[in-house]
Structure 1
C-alpha cells in the first residue's frame, strides 16, 4: 500500500477552513460555539480559522443570539457576494447560461436557441460563447469558474471528452474548445447528474441517501445516488436510463438501437407519436406540442399518446425500483415536469404494476422542485463544492 505523505500545517489549516466553510454554507448562520460543538475542532482552531475567513472576505456577521449570563453570540455565515459562478445547461434546442452567487441564487440568465436537429459542436460553442459574454459582463465578484451540464457521456481522463451518441458527438474535447474563447476554468458533467446534484442540495432530494433523479427532456437520463454519493460507473456512463430496453424489437431510437425507453417517453418521441396519430401539424415544436396534448387530453391522439407515455414511464421506473431499490425517485426535466404535473398519479400506478411490491412500497415518486434551471444550477455546484472543500481557495 502506498504511503501517504504527512500532512503539513498548511494542509491542516486548509482542511479546517474547508470543514468550517462547508458547515456554515449548508447549516449557517452559526455561532463560533456551534462550530466547535458540531465540527469537533478546538476552540483555538475555530477562532483562528474563522478570523482568517473573515479577513479574506468569505464570512460575514449575520446578527447575534442572546446568551444566558454572558455576552450575545455573534452569528457567522458565508458571504454570498464573495464569489460568483457560471452554470450552463447545454440542451438539444438551446443553451442556457446563468450567473449565480455563492448561495446559488440566480443573478443573470441568457438562453440562446439552437437549430432543432442540428447538433454541430461548433454551433453549440458559439451559443455558449454568446451567452457567457452576456452574463460575465454582469458579474460583480470574482468568478470561480464555468460549470456545464451536457447531454451524453462525459469521460474524465487526461482530457475531458463528451460522447453523445444521439447527437453525433464523438469524443468532443469540450474543455479545450471552450478554452479558445474564455480563460475561466471549466468543469463538465452529464446534465442529469448536475440536475440530480441540484435536487439533492436544494430540492426534492434533500436528505435522501439512495435516490434516482430522472431527467425527461428531448432525451432521457437519470442520476443515480447510492449511499449519498453520485454513481457514475467505470467510464462515466451510468444513468443512461433512456437507453434501457422497454420493448424488444420496438421503435427505432436515435442512438441506433430499438425499443429504448427514450423512443417512447422522450419529448421528441412523444411529438412524433402525436403527429403519427394526427394530433398536430409538423411545424409545431416539442414544448408546444407537449403542452397541446396536455391541454386537450380527451382528444383521441393526445389520449393515446399520453396513455402510452404513462405506461412506458411506469415500465422504466419499475425497472429502476427493482434494480436500485431507491427510497426516492425525482421526476424532472422540462418534459418530466410537464407530464408529471398532470399525470403523476397515473405514472405511479403504472410503476406499481411493473415493480415488485416490497421495493415499490419503499420508494417515493415525486416531482422535481427546481424547475427549468436545475441542470445549470447543478452545474454551478461543481465549482461551489470544490471551493468549499478547498477551504475557499480560488
Structure 2
C-alpha cells in the first residue's frame, strides 16, 4: 500500500531500519530510549525495528546502563559477525586486499606487489581472484556470507547496464576495461555477492569522511598523493563524494609530459613518480632497483639527514618545487570549491608527512584567493595506508545500509508476475 507521497510500506520499513542501523553503527551502543530522539522514530517504531533487526541477527545486546529511578536500560549495538566485507586497493605499487567484519575490524589481508607497475588486465584480475579466495580461507569465512567486494582503482569509472563497471585508466593503459564482468567470469563468489568498483581517490575520501579527518565537515576535498595525484570532492550535493581528475589539470603550458600523454599536468610535477624522476635528472641517486616507496624514503633522508650531516641541496630543491606545485594545485581546489577542509592521504603524502605539509600549506595560501584560503584547513589524513581499502569496503557497507540491512536477493529465474509484485509492495516487512 502506498502513501500519498508515493512511498510504500516497504519503503518506510527500509528507511526505519536504515536509520536505526546507522545510528547504532556510528554512535552506539545505544538504548532503545536513546534511539528515539536520534532517529526521529516513536518508541513503538524503535521497538519494532530493533526486534526486526535482532531477528535478522544484525543487532545484539551490549550491556546495560542505569536509568533515572527505573530499571537499567539495555544497550544495543550492531553485531560484528553478522556480515563480512572485502576492500581492495589496486594501487600503484601493489594490490592490497582486506577482509573485514561488519564493524570494519580487519580479519585477514594479503598484498600482491606489482612488478614495475604492471597493469596488465589479466594480472590484476588474477591478483583479485586469488587474493579474495586467500583472505576468505584465512579467516574461514564462507563466500556467501560476504555483503560485497569494494574495489578502488585508478581512472574514471563508467557504470553500464550491460557490462557493469568499465575502467577508463589512461595513465595505466586501460581503455574501457570491463573489470566487473571479468571478475564475475572468473570469480568463485556467488552471484548474490555484488562488486562495487570506484576510483581509488573516492574510496579514500569515503573512508576519511566516515571515520577520519573529514568527520563533521559538510564541504571537504580529500587528496590522494601517490605515484600520481587524485582527489575526491564531498559537498552536500554529492554526499558520498565524487572523484575529480585533479592530477590532470594543466599547470604549465608545454610543460613536462604526463603519464596520460598530455603536457603540463599537475601529476607530471606533483606525483611521486615525477618527483623521483626529477631528482634523478638533476643528479640525485635513488637506490638502484628500489621501488617508489623505498626511493622516496631515500630522497627524504637525503633532504633531511641526521643532525651534523649536510643535506642534499638537489633533494631539498626538488621537494620544495614539488610542494609548490602541490600547493598551487590545492589553490585551484580552494578557489573552485571553497572547502572547509583539505585532507592529504596516499602513501606518498603520508610518508612525506609533516616535513612536507608546512610548505604545501604556505604555497596553497599564496596562490589561492584570500577569503576561501582563510577558511580552509589543510591536514594529513588520519587513517594511514589502509584508507583506500577501508573506503572500498565502505562501498558495499553503504549499500547494505541503504537497503535497510537486507542482503541482495537471488536474481529471479524469470519475470515476476504482476500479482506477486503488488503483494510484495503491500507486505509489511
CA distance in 2, matches of 1:89, 1:35: 35
Q: Residues 207 and 251 of structure 1: is their aligned pair in 2 closer, same or farther, counting only changes over 3 Å?
A: same
Residue 304 of structure 1 pairs with residue 309 of structure 2? no
Deviation at 1:335, TM superposition (A): 0.5
Structure 1 residue matching 2:378: 3-state secondary structure? strand
CA distance in 1, matches of 2:4, 2:355: 55
CA distance in 1, matches of 2:5, 2:181: 32
Deviation at 1:201, TM superposition (A): 0.7
Deviation at 1:386, TM superposition (A): 1.1
Aligned to 1:160: 165
Aligned to 2:239: 229
Deviation at 1:242, TM superposition (A): 0.4
Per-residue CA deviation, residues 247-278 of structure 1 (Å, 9 max, x unaligned), is 11111101111111100111111111111112
Aligned to 1:121: 121
Aligned to 2:102: 102
CA distance in 1, matches of 2:328, 2:357: 14
CA distance in 1, matches of 2:117, 2:195: 26
CA distance in 2, matches of 1:294, 1:330: 21
Larger Rg computed on CA atoms: 2
Per-residue CA deviation, residues 333-389 of structure 1 (Å, 9 max, x unaligned), is 000111233211111111111111111110000001111111111010011111122
Deviation at 1:4, TM superposition (A): 9.0
Structure 2 residue matching 1:379: 3-state secondary structure? helix
Structure 1 residue matching 2:57: 3-state secondary structure? coil
Structure 1 residue matching 2:80: 3-state secondary structure? coil
Please tell me whether the aligned partners of residues 99 and 139 of structure 1 are also in contact (alpha carbons under 8 angstroms): no
Q: Residues 313 and 4 of structure 1: is their aligned pair in 2 closer, same or farther, counting only changes over 3 Å?
A: farther
Structure 1 residue matching 2:186: 3-state secondary structure? coil
Pairing partner for 2:216 from 207, 212, 217: 207
CA distance in 2, matches of 1:39, 1:118: 48
Pairing partner for 1:270 from 271, 275, 279: 275
Please tell me whether the aligned partners of residues 19 and 389 of structure 1 are also in contact (alpha carbons under 8 angstroms): no
Deviation at 1:323, TM superposition (A): 1.1
Deviation at 1:195, TM superposition (A): 0.3
Q: Which moved more, 1:356-365 or 1:131-140?
A: 131-140
Aligned to 2:59: 59
Aligned to 2:419: none
Aligned to 1:330: 343
Pairing partner for 1:320 from 333, 344, 367: 333
Please tell me whether the aligned partners of residues 202 and 241 of structure 2 are also in contact (alpha carbons under 8 angstroms): no
Pairing partner for 2:226 from 207, 212, 217: 217
Structure 1 residue matching 2:299: 3-state secondary structure? helix
Deviation at 1:392, TM superposition (A): 1.1
Per-residue CA deviation, residues 82-123 of structure 1 (Å, 9 max, x unaligned), is 111000000122110000111111111100011214211111
CA distance in 2, matches of 1:384, 1:4: 31
Aligned to 2:259: 254
In structure 1, runs of 5+ residues without a counterpart are: 233-237
Please tell me whether the aligned partners of residues 205 and 241 of structure 2 are also in contact (alpha carbons under 8 angstroms): no
Please tell me whether the aligned partners of residues 251 and 259 of structure 1 are also in contact (alpha carbons under 8 angstroms): yes
Per-residue CA deviation, residues 227-262 of structure 1 (Å, 9 max, x unaligned), is 261453xxxxx5111000111111110111111110
Aligned to 1:235: none
**TM-score (ref. length: structure 1):** 0.95
Please tell me whether the aligned partners of residues 322 and 356 of structure 1 are also in contact (alpha carbons under 8 angstroms): yes
Q: Which moved more, 1:156-165 or 1:276-285?
A: 276-285
Per-residue CA deviation, residues 305-333 of structure 1 (Å, 9 max, x unaligned), is 10111111111111111111111000000
Aligned to 1:18: 18
Deviation at 1:35, TM superposition (A): 1.1
Please tell me whether the aligned partners of residues 280 and 289 of structure 1 are also in contact (alpha carbons under 8 angstroms): no
Q: Number of residues paired by the alignment? A: 387
Please tell me whether the aligned partners of residues 84 and 139 of structure 1 are also in contact (alpha carbons under 8 angstroms): no
Q: Residues 350 and 6 of structure 1: is their aligned pair in 2 closer, same or farther, counting only changes over 3 Å?
A: closer
Structure 2 residue matching 1:116: 3-state secondary structure? helix
Per-residue CA deviation, residues 125-179 of structure 1 (Å, 9 max, x unaligned), is 1111121111111244721111000000001121311000111100001110000
Structure 2 residue matching 1:254: 3-state secondary structure? coil
In structure 2, runs of 5+ residues without a counterpart are: 304-310, 408-429
